[in-house]
Chains A and B, each alone.
Chain A
């Protein structure tokens, strides 16, 4: 721990001696546990091949603090990708590590009692989880999954299967980054600054867009509406994940490792922190409000023409406009570009797959 010197004494006499300064003592061996140390995680993005587009989206999400929804059939690799997201998030600061350790300690989930938690948490509650398990509850109040995912990733697999009530309860924690559980005698506030990674099937059968899918557009829409609008609204990136044909892909392409990706994330995060230096409570692009978007997401005429074309062709909602700008800003930050260029806009336009499909649906 930084700024902390630890001395060991065997009896009180030596303590008195030390306090009087009558005898010099050397601090115990440096207790600088690698709080920010290299992750001991056993997973790495190098294992994921042929999914460059998805990894790109994940990289952008991790960089800009955007919540992300992965869409795809069962077994296409959604969970595999989600599990690796903590490995590319910036290294933990000591403060963050302490915070995580405190929460895990309160929850009684510290495995190794002597040292700090040194890796970002990855929490994947089952869709059957109760509201209290997710938000926190009980007496005394135990932190829920949202708090256990603090400074890490909360992964909601099969998000369409979560009950509406449970999902709606996530709105406030997502917004405030902290959750308060009130009891008659007291109330407890836990931090819950997590990145939301959700996964779902594109349609009831899971193969939407492929030849074998026979779901009607009305069924698909009804299925997707199970996720309430306010939650969907807080997810900037929606990305399809398709299973990879290993015969054709695995040999030809090389994936970037988590360490490489993390460097990109860290560099782009530094740029964001510099940008938002004077603004309280904003550290990454996802948190920009409308005024900030106006100020920081200036696009050139080519970029705005592309956006306009996209709106005419795919009938995006006005709401998604700001999301595209925020995501484009993150793409530019990864590139180290001061201005958003048209290529960043093009890349950002690939980040809302589900919205795009809406335009092609034959529904009333």
Chain B
């Protein structure tokens, strides 16, 4: 039976939209396979070129190829998700470009659509932090995280989600017998074990540049909200935002410095009227947000590690923090500027690092990324 679905998806010159139109009339791909030219011609919305393509595809060779794909997939633990499967979310089906059959490894739950977190591969520390925080929030609220397991934002989001015990789906632009990018091999295995990896491509198909836009569209199809964390000029993440809007999904963009090249696209989205993302609460579905807004929810904010109260620093430690606030420094420089010897300085630095305020990398000392979040102003810096 599944072979007919694969056959339908592989018809040359017949796209998902036409495939679904044919299904509307014939109900099952097997019937399409058996349909005569006269029967096909009765459908008014299908163009003659499509009918010709279907007739051309009605050969045993193509069906045998489809059966071989099904067999290979089963052998590799890859399952098929045809359009008539109850696990195929209705919201995703409604998107015209949604494929008639998907391949997946893992377990598909029913709490869908979810929230997508996507962004640039070459991301900043800021983007990484936002993605991880948002993903952790989703995990804590039992909301499915949808992403593409790409380098950078996608990978960080899904890693953080799994670390927080969440459920995540990864949409890939290649057959599920492979892993791209290669360094995400362990991440992919964890996603499969605790969530699912999905693809529109049968096993054996390598990643190709032209597959990625369709994959991005698929991500938006399975989500009700899409969070764009960092998107450069003309980036894939920006394309995802456009698909999301076309599919009627809610899009949120993370604002960032106007000088940050990684965020030109995201800032541009905000300029165009996309709401800026300011806190994870916004990721809850609209109606739930309304409820939580009426309720006081400070306990959620308190759960965030970044809102730790500022501890009382010694005079020396305050001086260190003040200096570091302007720029990272070498330990030697700090010692000179603070007129102290390195041994005592090391003790102060150690305490500050242990409390997560600073980061020491070799002899370079810098503020920890999270320190920028907690109001240093409270300590008059």
Interface residues of A (CB under 8 A from B): 50-54, 71-72, 209, 211, 214, 216-219, 221-222, 239-242, 244, 248-249, 252-253, 306, 309-310, 313, 343, 346-347, 349-350, 353, 356-357, 360, 362-364
Contact = CB atoms under 8 A, between A and B. Distances in A.
A252 B336 contact: yes
B362 A242 contact: yes
B347 A364 contact: no
A29 to B, nearest CB: 49
27 contacts: A50-B330, A50-B333, A54-B362, A71-B362, A209-B359, A211-B124, A214-B122, A216-B123, A216-B151, A218-B181, A218-B184, A241-B362, A244-B330, A248-B333, A253-B332, A253-B336, A306-B350, A310-B354, A343-B347, A349-B350, A350-B360, A353-B361, A356-B360, A360-B359, A362-B156, A362-B160, A364-B163
B152 to A, nearest CB: 5
B272 interface: no
Contacts of B121: 216
Interface residues of B, number: 41
Interface in B334-381: 336, 342-343, 346-347, 350, 353-354, 359-364, 366
Contact of B362 (A53, A360, A362, A364): A53
Nearest to B121: A216
A252 B362 CA distance: 20
A357 B361 contact: yes
Interface in B92-117: none
Nearest to B262: A214
B132 A52 contact: no
Nearest to A349: B350
A138 to B, nearest CB: 38
Contacts of A241: 362
A214 B120 CA distance: 10
Given A346-B350, A362-B128, A216 B362 contact: no
A313 to B, nearest CB: 5
B42 interface: no
A242 B190 contact: no
A240 B362 contact: yes
Nearest to B188: A364
A50 B346 contact: no
B361 A54 contact: no
A78 to B, nearest CB: 11
B interface: dominant SS: helix
Given A221-B183, A346-B350, A364-B186, A214 B123 contact: yes
Contacts of B330: 50, 53, 242, 244, 249
A185 B188 CA distance: 53
A53 B331 contact: yes
A346 B124 contact: no
B358 to A, nearest CB: 12
B73 interface: no
Contacts of B192: none
B159 interface: yes
Contact of A346 (B159, B186, B347): B347
A216 B156 contact: yes
Lowest 7 A-B CB distances belong to which pairs?
A240-B362, A53-B363, A214-B122, A218-B183, A222-B183, A209-B361, A216-B151
A347 B361 contact: no
A360 B358 CA distance: 12
B187 A364 contact: yes
Contacts of A209: 359, 361, 364, 366
A53 B332 contact: yes
Interface in B149-193: 151-152, 155-156, 159-160, 162-163, 181-184, 186-187, 190
Given A216-B121, A362-B132, A364-B187, A249 B332 contact: yes
A222 B98 CA distance: 35
B336 A240 contact: no
Contacts of A244: 330
Given A222-B183, A244-B330, A214 B362 contact: no
B183 A219 contact: yes
A362 B159 contact: yes
Nearest to B135: A362
B333 A313 contact: no
Contacts of B366: 209
Contacts of A242: 330, 361-364
Contacts of B363: 51-54, 240, 242
Contacts of A53: 330-332, 342, 362-363
Interface string B257-281: 0000010000000000000000000
Nearest to A343: B343
A360 B342 CA distance: 25
Contacts of B343: 343, 346-347
B155 A216 contact: yes
Contacts of B354: 309-310, 313
